[in-house]
């Protein structure tokens, strides 16, 4: 298998790089580079710029308003956007619920929900995890009772990223409590303005508000908002998770963090010499860089197979697992590089304009925030322990 880029692919890569350099708002880049908190306007504004260029959604087929790019071009596009300092493209619409609606939704659902995602006019959130059902997602207890032409949904979802921004939620709810755990679950699209929905913020360790509790108290959901068949939601959920886990690997993000780590180590001092000259620290950087290079080649190999028509399988679990481990290793090394300067973490330092200090390598507070944020990556999208179980069962037959 040839993993080298063709001339056309290299030209495309250069085109994306030049566009991002010219059109990415400077203020947005500054926030991303400095590890500061982004607003909804930062995400949506950049996505609309890309849409006007015809590059959003970058991962959808042309018949649904996307680019029609093959998997390799999609990978190169994400890498160049990340390396340019662009914010991560919100995955809930374009990478999660959008593909589900395209694959399993009715023509009416596609006509209603896909165009607003293309234009970034609607923000989605994911209603999967519950207080008693996280890694064991099939154990969810949120129930949906059918009453005529609608369901009445009652329950609680948690760790719901950006629910406070969301216009809609794609939600798993139990429609047959007598069925086995993986059965009796339906996939519902819920308008977040519906009566009975309460969003309560969860403030994370780094002081940011990204995640939320969502309470559903007898929320009426039209039956026409159910994706596919009743009690077949687990099938659609697995389809979605396969796409999500490949995205969580975030090779481009880790390459960006690796560059940042090297720059920090080149400036931080140890015994009067740059830290990068310390053999042990340099060796640890090299180990992570080798792991990242191996991950990148694994992603490209899988994308090459996808380009040939083979959908992602259990290898998506491996990519998620290794990608998040590398992200955590990089943030740990960044914290070690700045030493005790990273300890007095001030959450307000994540806010734009705090103390009016320049954001740069000498400003260590955002590094602590990045460290805290990386702790959760091995949990969401299915914990890494669960991914190992999936690999053991699907690949090793255990």
The residues annotated as belonging to the active site are: 244
Long-range contacts of 71-76 (CB under 8 A, 24+ apart): 71/303, 71/304, 71/306, 71/307, 72/5, 72/9, 72/300, 72/303, 72/304, 72/307, 73/9, 73/12, 74/303, 75/251, 75/299, 75/300, 75/303, 76/5, 76/9, 76/12, 76/13, 76/16
CB contact at 8 A, 185 and 140? yes
Both structure tokens of 55: 């590059």
Task: Report which of 195, 221, 210 is spatially closest to residue 163, judged by C-alpha positions.
Answer: 210
How many other CB atoms sit within 10 Å of the CB of residue 173?
A: 27
Centre a 10 Å sphere on the Cβ of residue 266 and count the other Cβ atoms it contains: 13
User: What is the Cα–Cα distance from 334 to 296, expressed in whole angstroms?
Assistant: 21
| Inter-residue contact 97 to 240 (CB < 8 Å) | yes
Angle at 254 between CA 389 and CA 291, to 5 degrees: 60
């Amino acid at each position: 298998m040839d993993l080298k880029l063709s001339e056309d692919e290299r030209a495309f890569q250069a085109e994306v790089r030049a566009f991002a350099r010219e059109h990415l708002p400077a203020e947005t880049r500054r926030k991303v580079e400095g590890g500061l908190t982004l607003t909804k306007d930062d995400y949506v504004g950049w996505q609309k710029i890309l849409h006007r260029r015809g590059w959003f959604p970058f991962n959808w087929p042309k018949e649904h308003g996307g680019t029609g790019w093959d998997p390799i071009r999609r990978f190169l596009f994400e890498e160049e956007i990340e390396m340019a300092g662009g914010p991560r493209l919100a995955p809930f619409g374009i990478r999660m619920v959008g593909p589900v609606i395209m694959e399993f939704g009715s023509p009416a659902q596609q006509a209603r929900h896909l165009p607003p995602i293309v234009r970034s006019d609607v923000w989605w959130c994911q209603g999967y995890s519950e207080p008693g059902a996280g890694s064991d997602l099939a154990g969810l207890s949120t129930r949906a009772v059918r009453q005529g032409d609608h369901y009445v949904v009652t329950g609680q979802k948690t760790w719901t990223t950006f629910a406070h921004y969301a216009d809609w939620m794609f939600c798993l709810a139990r429609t047959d409590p007598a069925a086995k755990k993986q059965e009796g679950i339906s996939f519902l699209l819920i308008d977040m303005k519906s009566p009975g929905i309460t969003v309560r913020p969860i403030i994370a360790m780094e002081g940011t508000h990204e995640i939320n509790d969502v309470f559903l108290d007898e929320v009426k959901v039209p039956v026409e908002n159910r994706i596919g068949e009743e009690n077949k939601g687990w099938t659609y959920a697995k389809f979605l998770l396969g796409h999500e886990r490949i995205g969580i690997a975030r090779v481009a993000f880790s390459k960006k963090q690796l560059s940042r780590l090297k720059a920090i180590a080149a400036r931080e001092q140890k015994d009067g010499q740059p830290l990068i000259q310390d053999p042990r620290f340099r060796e640890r950087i090299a180990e992570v860089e080798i792991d990242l290079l191996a991950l990148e080649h694994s992603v490209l190999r899988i994308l090459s197979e996808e380009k040939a028509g083979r959908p992602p399988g259990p290898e998506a679990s491996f990519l998620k697992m290794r990608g998040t481990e590398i992200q955590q290793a990089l943030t740990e090394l960044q914290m070690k590089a700045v030493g005790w300067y990273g300890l007095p973490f001030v959450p307000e330092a994540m806010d734009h304009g705090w103390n009016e200090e320049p954001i740069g390598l000498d400003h260590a507070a955002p590094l602590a925030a990045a460290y805290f944020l990386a702790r959760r990556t091995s949990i969401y999208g299915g914990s890494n322990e669960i991914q190992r179980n999936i690999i053991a069962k699907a690949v090793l037959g255990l």
